[in-house]
Chains A and B, each alone.
Chain A
Amino acid sequence: MSMRRGVGLAAFDNHERTAQQYSDLGSTILQTHISELTDQLLTFQAALKRFAQSHADEIRSDPVFRSEFVKMCSAIGVDPLASSSANKKGSFWAELLGSDVNDFFFELAVRIIEICRRTRDENGGLMLVDDVKARINSVKGRPPVSQEDIVRAVNTLAPLGHGFGIVRLAHKDFIRSVPQELSRDQAVAIEATQALGYISVEILRDNLGWETARCIAVLDDLVASGLVWVDEQVRPKEYWTPSWIR
């Protein structure tokens, strides 16, 4: 009799009860997991905080150490910079790092802007990251910065939308500090300057297979944008990139 009861209406109750029990058990386990994870995360945060605090000086002054620290952060899925501007109160990371790392990159960004602004007439707003680095590191009494630091600092400026960005041409990183985009032809021509320092109508025509008119047009464009300097004391005229001033 009692066996048969299992298939009656009451069976639904039983079933539900069992399901409820499983569910309770499941949530208990989940709770335990969450609290364990929270504990682990807190421990981890504390460890990272201790690490960042005790090594703040090295993070600021040693480019290799800084690079490793930033790599470590991105490996665990956090960007110490990206989260900094997210909320007004100062992000978890800004608090964690005592704003030292953020300040480092923002101060660097300001110095980069200053250099680009000062040299804009000379180079039309396109400058090799290496040149910027050399200028920054020529100032004595400051810890040296790396190419990577500069690229990272420039990327922090992207949300400002003032046309600052990294452009990669001929396997070299350039900082573009004018809003104007390079046309495809301009980019190719600038890349070509990286081989000899200069280009000419003939060089573009012979190496890229462009029509003469197309070569002349792109060179005139580059001159008008201030991206190249003309040397008229040679035939054919040569168009030099100011990044070649050494």
Chain B
Amino acid sequence: MATFKSPTATSQSASFPFPSIYSFPPFFTRQPNGQTWTSQLSLWSSLILAYCRYNRIWRIDLNTAIGWDLFNNKDINRSLKLETCREILDSMVKKGDAEWLPGSGTNAAKNASAIIYWRRPEEWANIIADWIDSTGQKNAILTLYEIAEGDLSLSQDFRGIDSTILRKALDVLIRRGQAQIMKSADGEEAGVKFFGTQ
């Protein structure tokens, strides 16, 4: 029996408190009844979102994630099948809770990696805009790295945010006229300038 570890398990002091449904053996079998399956899908989506939020996981690579404790309950010896897991992620993508990353994995026909939106890009945009206001960084130019890893974002919820998600959040702010991408002389994206919420 392999040992399952989530990627950030080492940095967590307490492990994720799994809900009671996680100890219900049939939860790991795709239910044949359509209505039951609908209910099972929404229970799994909530669990995946809560787990990723708790462990600050930004994306899931199916081929490794399938080995996480999230999808394997050792206590009752039940595991979710890869194709069921993919089906669940598909439904999350449809609802806007996740997004498949293109061209991921060895098998191009099948999606393997997905971004998990435990907060939607719009929510991240609001949080970042509030942070800019409250830390007096209006009109400052910040690099994407500074936003995600800088000293001022240490205690922020978006600390270490996935660059793809960050870029989507910034796109929201740009559309609202609250930010602008600054390019360097060679055309590279060098940073982002914030105008504040007013």
Contacts and interface: CB of A to CB of B under 8 A. Distances in A.
Interface in A214-238: 223-226, 229-234, 238
Majority secondary structure, A binding face = mixed
Interface string B64-96: 000000000000011100000000000000000
Nearest to A198: B25
Given A233-B79, A245-B20, A246-B20, A121 B35 contact: yes
Among B21, B39, B43, the one with the most A-chain Cβ atoms within 10 Å of its Cβ is B39
Contact of B21 (A198, A223, A231, A245): A245
A188 to B, nearest CB: 20
A55 B43 CA distance: 43
B29 interface: yes
B26 interface: yes
Contact of A232 (B20, B29, B35, B40): B29
Interface string B26-57: 11110111011011100100000000000000
A229 B31 contact: yes
B145 interface: no
Interface residues of A, number: 22
A122 B24 contact: no
Contacts, number: 56
B35 A233 contact: no
A168 to B, nearest CB: 24
B79 A121 contact: no
Contacts of B28: 231, 233
A35 B27 CA distance: 69
A244 B38 CA distance: 19
Interface string A152-169: 000000000000000000
Contact of B26 (A124, A224, A229, A246): A229
A54 B82 CA distance: 63
Contacts of B39: 119, 121-122
Given A121-B36, A122-B39, A230 B20 contact: no
Contacts of B77: 233
A174 interface: no
Contacts of B25: 198, 231, 233-234, 238, 240
B35 A226 contact: yes
B29 A226 contact: no
Interface in A72-124: 119-122, 124
Nearest to B39: A121
A156 B39 CA distance: 29
Given A229-B24, A246-B20, A224 B29 contact: no
Contacts of A119: 39
A230 B26 contact: yes
Given A229-B24, A233-B77, A246-B23, 11 more contacts: A121-B38, A121-B39, A122-B43, A223-B32, A223-B33, A231-B25, A231-B26, A231-B78, A233-B25, A240-B24, A245-B20
Interface of B: 20-21, 23-29, 31-33, 35-36, 38-40, 43, 77-79
Interface of A: 119-122, 124, 198, 223-226, 229-234, 238, 240, 242, 244-246
7 contacts: A120-B35, A229-B24, A229-B26, A229-B40, A233-B28, A233-B77, A233-B78
